Chain A
Amino acid sequence: GTVFWGLANKCVISNSFILDDPDLKDIDPTVLKHCHAAAATCILEAGKQKADLSAISTCLEDCKLDKERIEQFCTEYQKNKDALEILLGSIGRSPLHITDVSWRLEYQIKNNQLHKTYQPSYLVTLNVENNDSRSHPDVSFSCTMEQLQDLVGKLKDAAKSLERATQM
């Protein structure tokens, strides 16, 4: 029925399973699976190519869908377009992503090898997120004040370049 298109759209985004849906229990599961796969492919392809609504309509017209269903599909598609794009954009490999940083400042006084060391020392932990697995191997390192200044200076250079690049 017409409700199907909205559901199919939702399924792509939320991964819920159509066969469990009580509204669709009268439909042959094989047909249902075929329809779901076709709709999912259509939605994902449209999302991947960033197809506009007129392109989608033309495509669906070629598939001999009636006007009402096409309209319904397009409305649902429009509603979920942003979520779909985020989903598709997050697929793929990329380096570990830094999400946050924590730091600790300590003052070193002495150790078993050396007395009167008297120098500040920072412990920096970069919180890191992995794209394709759930493990988050944080990156920790210690640095002196000069080293931290060096690090911040370089990050600021990068931020400045970024700002300049966005103004172009």
Chain B
Amino acid sequence: MQYYLKGKLNIGIDTIQHAVEGLAYLLTESSKLMISEVDFQDSIHVLGFSDELNKSLLQLYLDNRKEIRSILGELAPRLPSYHSLEWRLEVQLASRSLRQQIKPAVTMKLHLNQNEDQSAQVLQTDPATLLHLIQQLEQALGEMKMNHCRRIVRNMK
């Protein structure tokens, strides 16, 4: 890109490189801090560019902020995260050591994301535990609606 620009603009490679790096720094820092339109304008004002250039920088920031934040979000340290779950219902009817069984089970395939890779695990559970899992996880979801959590969320913003 630098060579392409050099031919087009007839400026030194170093100058172009510094400009690109400067722009990247300005945009990532601003996006990382999620600064407001006014704060962005104040920040670039001291650089002494023309009003027109300042305006297009602001537009560049506003247009790309969302995408930059989503890219930065992917760089953050992350645990293996949930991707999806497949399940099937089955009844064990017999085994080598015991004939004539009736053992209901839910077999699940849990897909997780970890550092761009996807992994899957096959797990199984019995009906009673399944109901227990649902009950526990519903409590987890419900907790976010409780006053304590809502107060924290409100005060953070």
Contacts and interface: CB of A to CB of B under 8 A. Distances in A.
B106 interface: yes
A83 interface: no
B117 interface: no
A89 B95 contact: yes
Interface string A126-158: 101000000000011111010111111011111
Contacts, number: 164
A35 interface: no
Given A98-B123, A142-B79, A155-B85, 16 more contacts: A89-B101, A98-B108, A101-B133, A105-B143, A105-B149, A107-B149, A113-B32, A114-B72, A115-B33, A117-B73, A122-B140, A150-B82, A155-B130, A155-B137, A165-B104, A166-B104
Interface residues of A, number: 58
A90 to B, nearest CB: 9
Interface in B36-80: 69, 72-73, 75-80
Given A95-B122, A95-B124, A115-B32, A147 B82 contact: yes
Interface in B77-132: 77-82, 84-85, 87, 89, 92, 95-101, 103-108, 110, 112, 121-127, 129-132
18 contacts: A48-B99, A96-B121, A98-B124, A107-B152, A113-B72, A117-B73, A122-B140, A124-B140, A139-B110, A141-B81, A141-B112, A143-B81, A143-B82, A147-B82, A150-B85, A151-B85, A154-B87, A158-B89
Nearest to A97: B124
Contact of B85 (A102, A113, A154): A154
Nearest 8 interchain pairs by C-beta: A143-B82, A88-B98, A98-B125, A91-B97, A95-B124, A142-B79, A103-B140, A116-B34
B121 A139 contact: yes
Contact of B73 (A47, A107, A113, A141): A113
A159 interface: yes
Interface of A: 47-50, 85, 88-89, 91-92, 94-103, 105, 107, 109, 111-118, 120, 122-124, 126, 128, 139-143, 145, 147-152, 154-159, 161-162, 165-166
B9 interface: no
A8 to B, nearest CB: 19
B76 A105 contact: no
B1 interface: no
A145 B144 contact: yes
A126 B75 CA distance: 26
Contacts of A94: 92, 105, 124
Contacts of B112: 141
